[in-house]
Amino acid sequence: MEKQIIWRGILAGAIGGVFAFVFARIFAEPQIQRAIDYEEGRDHAQSALDQATGLAAAHEHADPFSRAVQGNIGLGIGLILFGVAMGALFAVAYALCLGRTGRVRPRTLALLVAGGGFLGIYLVPFLKYPANPPAIGHEDTIRERGTFFLLMVTASVLFLVLTGWLGRRLQPRFGTWNAALIAGGVFVAATAIVMLALPSFSETPDALTDTTGRIVFSGFPADVLSHFRLYSVGAQLILWGAIGLVFAPMAERLLSPGKPAAAVSV
């Protein structure tokens, strides 16, 4: 049974990854290209300034892949592999939830677990450390930003699991509605404490000025940033939505007993 669940989860994740890739290729890639163009323009302005003031210009590093490869093949590989990994994690979580979550239909449970994955792995960490396009983020702080981001992901997933457990514990005493509200409130409070305790990073480039304070290159375009973040949320919504919706009917067929054989052969 667990193998059937895992393979179905991986399949759902791969399909979700393909959808997310198509979405990203159409909507995100132009924004990413604008961000990279900004970064290059800014770098040129910076080295012109540095030369004017007699500083050594920063050296450019050569990329092993062209933009065309990064924006098509690389983006596809990244999103589909991510989808497969999330589908596999989803399947593990789904298998562990089976029989431990009360009277929930298999397909409803699929949507609940997928929603949990979206919240715990992506959306809650995003609220603290939102996705950033290229050109935002200093190379020197990558270690800190990486560490705190993963810490945030770990904390939100952990809190979500504990919230589910707490809700189940409180349900006999307070009823489903109130138990869910209490457990949800505990989740929000615990997450808020962690978010307040962790450091913030605001590394969006400001306008570049020369020694007289005259602006020689604009700050990072706000529209590009807001579109990029909106589309980032959209892609994850598509990915997790597809995982839940593709897995749901498969789970229903796999787990609902007493269905007519015709339904199985669909």
The contact set with other proteins (CB under 8 A) reads: 1-3, 6, 24, 28-29, 32, 63-65, 69-71, 73-75, 77-79, 81-82, 84-86, 88-89, 91-92, 95-101, 103-106, 108-109, 122, 125-126, 129-134, 137, 139, 142-143, 145-147, 149-150, 228, 231-232, 235-236, 254-255, 257-258
Rounded least distance, CB 215 to other proteins, Å: 25
> Taking the complex as a whole, how short is the minimal distance between the CB of residue 150 and other proteins, in angstroms?
7
- Considering beta carbons, is residue 88 or 182 the nearer one to other proteins? 88
Element (H, E) at 74: none
- Minimum Å distance from CB 237 to other proteins? 12
Is 28 or 170 the residue whose CB approaches other proteins more closely? 28
Number of neighbours of residue 165 by Cβ within 10 angstroms: 12
CA triplet 246, 184, 242: central angle to 5 degrees?
A: 10
Cα separations in angstroms, 241 against 119, 235, 245: 12, 10, 6
Q: In sequence order, what E strands does the chain have? A: 208-209, 215-217
Quote the least distance from Cβ 180 to other proteins, whole Å. 17
**CB-nearer residue toward other proteins: 33 or 210:** 33
Which CB, 139 or 223, lies closer to other proteins? 139
Cβ proximity to other proteins: between 29 and 43 the closer is 29
Distance CA 75, CA 62 (A): 19
Nearest to other proteins of 122, 220 (CB atom): 122
Q: How far is the CB of 241 from other proteins (least distance, A)?
A: 15
Query: Which secondary structure element, helix H or strand E, spans residue 265, and what is its range?
Result: none
Angle at 228 between CA 222 and CA 229, to 5 degrees: 95
Q: Which is it for the CA torsion 168, 174, 176, 182, positive or negative?
A: negative
From residue 55, alpha-carbon distances to 46, 50, 51, 60, 213 in Å are 10, 5, 6, 15, 18
Nearest distance in Å: CB 219, other proteins = 19
